[in-house]
Amino acid sequence: MGSTRNALWMVIAGSVSTLVGVFLPATSDFFDSDLTDAELIRLVDDDRSPYLIAFGLMGLGTVIVGIGLFLLGRAIAPMEREMASWRGTVASIAALGGLLAALAGLERLLVALFATPEFFVDGGAFGDVVYLIGMMLGLTLSMVLFGVLAWAAPPPKWTAVLLIVAALLGLPAFMPWFAGLFIFAVANLVVMARRDQPATQAPTQPAG
């Protein structure tokens, strides 16, 4: 159980880091649809630090979330396999999806730290492929599979539905991925903490 808790705490920490980066002003400025690529390059070139912080937090957060999902899948796979062999396989695939997401986050973090303003804005075909495989495929698949497994797990069933819905909503919007993961991980930790509490015993009445 300790490894499961640690993995969930990593998912929470990574989700918070990513969401902070999403809501920083530099992020909304960067994704302003009225700006041309030339204007974006000029913005990043004039003052790199706000964009480094915002995109660095998102990249680092995604790395942490991905590793957390990988460790979560590894931790629960033996338990799931005891219920049914296919469930163990699903947990292992979900773990690999998390690893792909971590690699995509690492690419974004390295771009935020070291890329030229031109590459920061454009990213090139390599960045598009990494995002497609790591996030739109890896992270989405991982969340959907964990949602399937969670349907029969101790947390309330709504958390399983939430995780699957957040996975699909994240495809066009990004933010729902990490909001859904945050809520899912918190709910799991709360349920695990309640389950570990010793049952309260009614006071015994004196004999006679």
What tokens appear for 43 in the block? 């913005």
The predicted pLDDT at position 136 comes to 95
Does this model's pTM top 0.85? My answer is yes
Question: Which H or E run contains 150?
Answer: helix 140-150
The average confidence (pLDDT) of the chain is: 90
The letter for the amino acid at 4 is T
pLDDT tens by residue, 12-55 = 999 999 999 999 999 988 887 688 889 889 989 999 999 999 99
Q: Do residues 39 and 83 make contact, with C-beta atoms less than 8 angstroms apart?
A: no
Among 159, 148, 147, 158, CA closest to 186? 159
What tokens appear for 39 in the block? 């204007």
Place of tokens 């973090």: 109
What tokens appear for 58 in the block? 């998102």
pLDDT tens by residue, 73-130 = 999 999 999 999 999 999 999 999 999 999 999 999 999 999 999 999 887 788 889 9
pLDDT, mean of residues 164-180: 94
